[in-house]
Amino acid sequence: MASFDKADIEKLIDGVLPWPATQDMLKSSKDEDRFDKYVEIMQARVDFEDPILLPLTPMLFIVNDNGSRVVKCRCGQCFGDYRVNWKLSALIYVRDDEEKMEQVYVGREMPDPGWIQLREYICAGCGAQLEVEAVPRGCPPDFEFLPDLDTFYRDWLGRPLPDTCEFKDATLDQINEWAK
């Protein structure tokens, strides 16, 4: 079973690992300790202390914040319960007319704003652009990933988390609050 230096994995993440070493990683049977090393690397790079449970994206992490599982940006900005689509806690800027679209796509490269809108999800803490959606009006935001964290830790990693949390999409609960 292959195993790689943490330093090399860091270089890979930063896009500076030489190609032969990258190929070696691609071709070798996968290292079993990668997840733990990756989490350690990310933990050292983020601006918060809460232990990372899952790197949701390179910028967003599900963390254990004093017993509750919440999504945090690497800058520490909190996006709430991981079972609610974190986009509901982000800032959003939508390009839904030509004037706004033109700042990204000019001339023949511009999509038709009557067909799709560009939604930019921004972190209120650090101003990072976390995701961009290109969807027609009416499309609910994609809840890209709702992990079954307990199954993952208990059955796949063989080390259950100390507490459990029901595997359910709670996004509509939040919407119902707003709708009142």
Partner 1 sequence: MSATASTMTSNTPLRDRMHANDEAFKTTGSLFGLTALTRKEDDPGTYEAVWHILSNLCNTAWATGCKVSSSPIAAEGGDALWGLHTATGEAVCISRGISAHAGLLSDMIKHFIELGYEDYPGFKQGDIFENNDPHYGGIHSPDFDMCMPIFYQDKLVAWASCVSHVSDSGSVTPGSIGFLNPDCYSDGIPISMERVGEHDAFYPWYEMRIRSRTRTPDFVMGDARGRLAGCITVRERLHEVLDKYSLDFVLDAMNEYVEDSRRYAVKRVKTQTVPGRIRKSQFKDLAMKGKRVLLAKQDIDCMFNLPMDLTINADASVDLSLAGASGTVPFGENISPTALKSGLMMGYSHVVGFDMFNSGPTTAWNVEMPPGGSWANPYPVDYQAASGVAWAPAVTWLSNLYEVFGRLFQMRGFVEEMAAGSGSIMTAEFAGINQTGMYLTGLTLEQASQGSPARGYSDGQNSAWCIYTPEGDFGNAEVGELYYPILFLGRNVAPDSGGFGKFRGGLGHTAVWMVYNTPGLEYQCGDAGMRSKTVGNHGMYGAYPTVPDRPGYGHKTNLKELIEEQKPLIHERGGPDNPAVTSKITAELAEDSAVAPFVTPEALVDYDVIVHPISGAQAMGDPIERDPESVVNDLNEGWTTQRVAREIHGVVTTQPNGHVAADHEATAKRRQQIREDRKQRAVPFKEWWLEERKKVEAQENMDNAVRVMWESSMRLSPEYGEGVRKFWNLPEDFTFTPDAG
**Does 126 interact with Zn ion (rule: CB under 5 A)?**
yes
Q: Decide which of Zn ion, partner 1, none touches 101; Cβ closer than 5 to 8 Å per partner kind.
A: none
**CA 123 – CA 87 distance, rounded (Å):** 10
| x-marked contacts with partner 1 along 8-37 as a string, rule CB under 8 A | -x--xxxx-x----x--xx---x-x-xx-x
**CA 119 – CA 122 distance, rounded (Å):** 10
Find residue 78's DSSP bridge partners: 72
**Does 51 interact with partner 1 (rule: CB under 8 A)?**
no
**Does 130 interact with Zn ion (rule: CB under 5 A)?**
no
**Does 122 interact with partner 1 (rule: CB under 8 A)?**
yes
**Does 78 interact with Zn ion (rule: CB under 5 A)?**
no
Q: Which is nearer to partner 1, 76 or 111 (CB)?
A: 111
**Does 111 interact with partner 1 (rule: CB under 8 A)?**
yes
**CA 155 – CA 149 distance, rounded (Å):** 10
**Does 139 interact with partner 1 (rule: CB under 8 A)?**
yes
Q: Which of 111, 113, 125, 147 binds Zn ion (CB under 5 A)?
A: 125
**Does 54 interact with Zn ion (rule: CB under 5 A)?**
no
The owner of tokens 């809108």 is 117
The DSSP symbol for 68 reads E
**Does 165 interact with partner 1 (rule: CB under 8 A)?**
no
Rg, the chain, Cα only: 19
Backbone torsions φ then ψ of 84, nearest 5 degrees: -105, 130
Q: Decide which of Zn ion, partner 1, none touches 7; Cβ closer than 5 to 8 Å per partner kind.
A: none
**CA 167 – CA 42 distance, rounded (Å):** 25
